[in-house]
Amino acid sequence: MSASIVFHGLAAIAYGILALSLWLPIQKYQHSPHLDRTFRVGLLAALIIHGTGLLLAIILPQGLHIGWALALSAGLWLGMVVFWFESLYLRLDSLLLILLPTAALVSLITALFPEGIIVHHADNDWLRVHLLIALAAYGLSGVAAMHAILIAVLDRQLHRPVQAIGQQNSWYRALDSMPPLMVQETLLFRLIRFAFIVLTLTVLTGIAVSLRVDNQLVPLDHKTLFTLLSWLTFGALLIGRRLRGWRGRTALKWTLAGFCLLLLAYTGSRFVLDVILQRGPFG
């Protein structure tokens, strides 16, 4: 566990350095961020450090170790991996202005709160697959939520008065390199579709695990409830997009609602128990 804390601390430092290396030239030269080969290699190294910390924390000899901070960290890491591959084909440089500080903060929080529980039935192959898919759903929905926030900022910039353009700060100038708003929305809904598919697999594998372990089709607990609500929210958003052309603020609200519900499915509840109420696994 101590090695995991060290790696998460190193990941926080690496993400912080990358964030500064991206932000300082914007402040100094007033130009939009640009990811060169050196930066991409540095980001990949940070992801490897972060992933190593997660591997050392979750895969233990006695079973799978999961905590609220670890779940948040693993989901964000998978989201960052998705971003890294997406950025090879699309100019998403400015999204890092949100992702990197968030990744640094989450890595630091995970180093400070490494506690968790050992998952029962960790030798069940279905459970391992279910946990992996669930973490992927966290990551994809998290990146989609951040992308939705970025689109809202882009939309606000687009509708700013002409006389205010010359007064825009470095943050708004950094957004100038982003693709057009319609392209961003297309990418957002691509992420949401992926997140919905992975979330559907999460629900299906969860049912399979429940049948094998407890002989229940759908367990009556808060994780199942919030996961199903998140699944319904993302599904409704995709239907609304298809039938009514939902976009803009409507898409932002539904995306954030779906992500928050998924966050509450595990991370939020464990945070309340472990940190606020100071209750352990048997509290």
Q: What stretches of 68-221 show up as alpha helix (H) in DSSP? A: 68-86, 96-112, 125-158, 170-174, 181-213
Per-residue pLDDT of the chain (283 residues; tens, 9 = 90+): 588 899 999 999 999 999 888 877 665 555 555 677 888 899 999 999 999 999 888 877 777 777 778 878 888 888 788 778 877 776 666 678 788 999 999 999 999 988 777 766 556 677 778 877 887 788 788 888 888 887 887 777 666 654 444 445 555 555 555 667 777 788 788 889 988 999 999 889 888 888 877 777 776 777 788 889 999 999 999 999 999 888 878 888 899 999 888 888 766 555 544 544 445 443 3
Provide the pLDDT for residue 115.
78
CA distance 210 to 201: 14
pTM for this model (two decimals): 0.72
Radius of gyration (Cα) for the chain, nearest Å? 20
- 66, containing H or E segment: strand 63-66
C-alpha 266: how far from its chain's center?
14
Dihedral sign of CA atoms 206, 102, 280, 226 in order: negative
